[in-house]
Structure 1
Amino acid sequence: MFAQLRLTQFKAWKDTGSVALKPVTMLLGTNSSGKSTLIQSLLLLKQTVQSPDRTVHLNLGGDEVNDLFNFGSFEDVLHQAAEQPRQFSIGFDFDGETAGRIKSGKFDCTYGQTSSGSVAIQTLDLRTESRRFRAIRRDKGAFSIMVDEESMPRLKGRNYAPERSVALSADAIAELNQDGPVLEDLSLAIRRELESIIYLGPLRRKPERDYPWNKTKPGDVGIDGRSAIDALLASALLKGEEQSYVVNGVSRWLAKMKVADKLEVRQQGRSSRYELIIHRDGVACNLRDVGIGVSQVLPVLVVAYFAPPGSTIILEEPEIHLHPLAQAVLAELFVTISHERKVQFIVETHSEHLFRRMQTLIARQEVSAEQVAMYFVERDGKAAKLRVLALDEYGRVKNWPDGFFGDALGETREQARLMFERQQAAKS
């Protein structure tokens, strides 16, 4: 699980400071304020560690098939008002069972631009609770490798350059002797943590009337939920201990949201094509024939049950096209699934209903304020500004931002004032 995130001079952020990430983390705020940038920093590292080119320092994207985002160039990523040196940094702490032999650690990397315009690591700092490894860029692409707090480099040379932001070369590992395996385990733990990220974006696929299935289980649901249906079909049709586990979980939450009673997978004759049938109030309808909100929330519910334990699920606007009650129930989904399946949720949302239900869950003591982090992101000139929403044990916000969710109380006062004025005018 990711425990902290740090960005400096990265896109909208001059300096985030240390951002605590909890089992459920919610990012709220105005449009184009910098919420998505917090998410994108982790996705940038994820697509870097998955790059087929191990020598790449940072994969800014461009491969429409394999990359999550195309970040453009170094200048597009660097904060517009960046100070000297013209560098940006990404850092995080992690703590979780996905890390293998290394249970917790820190990653910090600073990136600059070479004379040819490419992105290159300037400093890479990898730590466990007791060990520290640094790679520091020198002239002409050479690197010095430092271990712990030693004042002199262990290694120097161009063949010790970092790979995919999280690892050192095989030469460096070999020449570090007994420290090499420790560094290798740490790099593997960081890579696993990044690979465990599952991202679902705000734009999801429209439903089809029927779907083919090749009798396999997908690796993930895709950033637009394209493989969510395959995951449902695999759950319903593959034999094994987890048969119908995802389907039953999805049905349960659709019922709680009051958008359906249950979900059914139905084969079309003896073909390899299947329908998704939505049951509600005794009526069975094809997924294509019900409201768009059902098809848009399906990938959210599927990923909650499909993601392996230990995953970090990043969601943008999970509430899209849902009515207020269903939006509120999403808060219960995140809290319940995070606890039951040991997954982490990082959610970017504009939903007041989701936020309000999370406050209620805290007041009910169904989740503690320590298990949930809430942030409000706003602009301060050219830079994004992060406000930690301080909640008490009753879910009340102690530092409510101006215009957080509009001005509901102000609207009520204005309506009352206008009603009074019109009533007085009618009497005169």
Structure 2
Amino acid sequence: MSEQPLQTLESIVLHNFKCFGHQKINLGKLTLLSGLNGMGKSSVIQSLLLLRQSFQQGLITQGLAVNGDLVRLGTAQDVFFESAEDDTISIGLKLHSKNSVDEWSYQYNSSTDVLDIEAAPDGLNSILVGASDTYFNNDIIFSNLFTDEFQYLQAERIGPRTSFGTSDYLVRQHRQLGPSGEYAIHYLSLFGNELIPNEKLHHEQSSTLTLRNEVEAWLSEISPGTRINISGNPDIDLVSLRFSFVNDGVVGNAFRATNVGFGLTYTLPILVAVLSAKPNSLLLIENPEAHLHPRGQALMGQFLAYAAAAGVQIVVESHSDHVLNGIRLAVHDGKIDPADVQLNYFERRMIEGQTRHTISTPTIDQDGLIDQWPDGFFDEFDKSLERLMTPRS
């Protein structure tokens, strides 16, 4: 399986899924999901997690596993679109290598509150996955969504701790960091001396291409001179993390992560995920700006753009105009082609007397300028400034 080239996603098609009656969501090398709270951004990410989770549990040809390690959505009723005109829920994926959409359809049974398989995607063959027969064609089975070349980091990542857990199964065998980034420190302890797979992400201040040195170099963009100190206690399956800082060429004392603040610990899993990702891998990242100052948020936007330009497919959900501006700066500086950036702005509108969730797609030009600014699209600074400049009555 590992010898096959990874396939990347071009779009998602949702039918009767959560807040969407029917919606197509285009994806790029770097996709930014934005919008007010409750507009459907997380639902898009959850649709991908739901497919992966159902696949991993061997249930995808029987029904959808709405609760699991990646996502917990409650009941089938919680997932089914409340204004649905039929009883079918489906999630479709289109790969860049194909002209058609592979769609999984399930029937919602309100009396039993389950989602049962209605039809496997057309033309798919049954292959053995784990202990069950699962329908996948050769393209889909090697899409980045269903392989180990995948990471999901949720908004609520693990904060500073005196120690962090380990997982031989997830980290050693599947190289996963965990949805909360809870195994990022264990990952670094095991693979920190390996070379990063993508030399295009080499930081000029890193002395080598090892993952640990590259993480430290990029982390120093946020907090200058940062050094990472990891020690393990295999007897109790824990690893500890400390940070030290270089001042005038001298490395200071190592401080517990709990004494340094949230920003570094919260950012660390993102850096590890990106720098360890192979080209065509898929990363789903929620709120990368969390606990970062504005400069750090802008740098994060640039960093994600650099990674996407180097071939890593990234879907990021963010409320930060600084992250957006970091992406725009990367485009302006020629670090990423504007055609590789997909902006999706989620809104809720009244259409023909009904509330509909819709998506606007502003585009960025070569200069980093955006062609349209829908109301609410990262415009709060301008709105606040306009009010401040208006004389009081």
TM-score bin (small chain): 0.7 to 0.9
CA distance in 2, matches of 1:50, 1:244: 33
CA distance in 2, matches of 1:269, 1:395: 48
CA distance in 1, matches of 2:99, 2:31: 19
CA distance in 1, matches of 2:140, 2:336: 33
* 1:201-244, Cα deviation, whole Å (9 max, x unpaired): 011112223557799954211001110011111134x6x66697
Distance 1:263 1:120, change over 3 A: same
Question: Of residues 113, 119, 122 in structure 2, which corresponds to 1:123?
Answer: 119
Aligned-pair identity in percent equals: 24
CA distance in 1, matches of 2:43, 2:165: 36
Which is further off, 264-273 or 226-235? 264-273
- Whichever of the two has the greater Rg, that structure is 1
What is residue 72 of structure 1 aligned with on the other side? 74
What displacement does 1:116 show? Answer: 4.1
**8 Å contact kept, 1:30–1:377:** yes
What displacement does 1:284 show? Answer: 3.7
**8 Å contact kept, 2:165–2:182:** no
Question: Of residues 308, 315, 323 in structure 2, which corresponds to 1:338?
Answer: 308
- For residues 52-91 of structure 1, the aligned pairs below 5 Å read 52-53=58-59, 56-61=62-67, 63=68, 67-83=69-85, 85-91=86-92
Aligned residues: 358
What displacement does 1:74 show? Answer: 2.3
Question: Of residues 24, 48, 53 in structure 2, which corresponds to 1:47?
Answer: 53
What is residue 141 of structure 1 aligned with on the other side? none
What is residue 310 of structure 1 aligned with on the other side? 280
**8 Å contact kept, 2:158–2:182:** yes
CA distance in 2, matches of 1:12, 1:276: 43
Question: Of residues 379, 383, 390 in structure 1, which corresponds to 2:356?
Answer: 383
What is residue 44 of structure 2 aligned with on the other side? 38
- Classify the secondary structure of the residue corresponding to 1:370: helix
What is residue 226 of structure 2 aligned with on the other side? 262
What is residue 215 of structure 2 aligned with on the other side? 250
**8 Å contact kept, 1:277–1:285:** yes
What is residue 188 of structure 2 aligned with on the other side? 232
CA distance in 2, matches of 1:54, 1:78: 17
What is residue 179 of structure 2 aligned with on the other side? 223
- For residues 117-266 of structure 1, the aligned pairs below 5 Å read 117-126=113-122, 133=123, 169=133, 185-186=138-139, 188-190=141-143, 193-195=145-147, 196-210=149-163, 217-218=171-172, 219-236=175-192, 245-257=210-222, 259-265=223-229
* 1:331-353, Cα deviation, whole Å (9 max, x unpaired): 1211222333x321100000010
What is residue 414 of structure 1 aligned with on the other side? 387
**8 Å contact kept, 1:3–1:94:** yes
Distance 1:268 1:72, change over 3 A: closer
What displacement does 1:15 show? Answer: 1.9
**8 Å contact kept, 1:369–1:391:** yes
CA distance in 1, matches of 2:185, 2:35: 31
What displacement does 1:330 show? Answer: 0.9
Distance 1:54 1:296, change over 3 A: closer
What displacement does 1:73 show? Answer: 2.5
CA distance in 1, matches of 2:258, 2:189: 16
CA distance in 1, matches of 2:239, 2:177: 19
CA distance in 2, matches of 1:373, 1:30: 18
* 1:369-428, Cα deviation, whole Å (9 max, x unpaired): 111101111112543211111222222222211132344334333333338x7xxxxxxx
**8 Å contact kept, 2:243–2:260:** no
- Structure 1 unaligned spans of 5+: 97-102, 127-132, 136-159, 174-182, 422-428
Amino acid at match of 1:315: I
* 1:48-94, Cα deviation, whole Å (9 max, x unpaired): 11004575332112x4xxx31122222211111111x2222211112
Which is further off, 222-231 or 287-296? 287-296
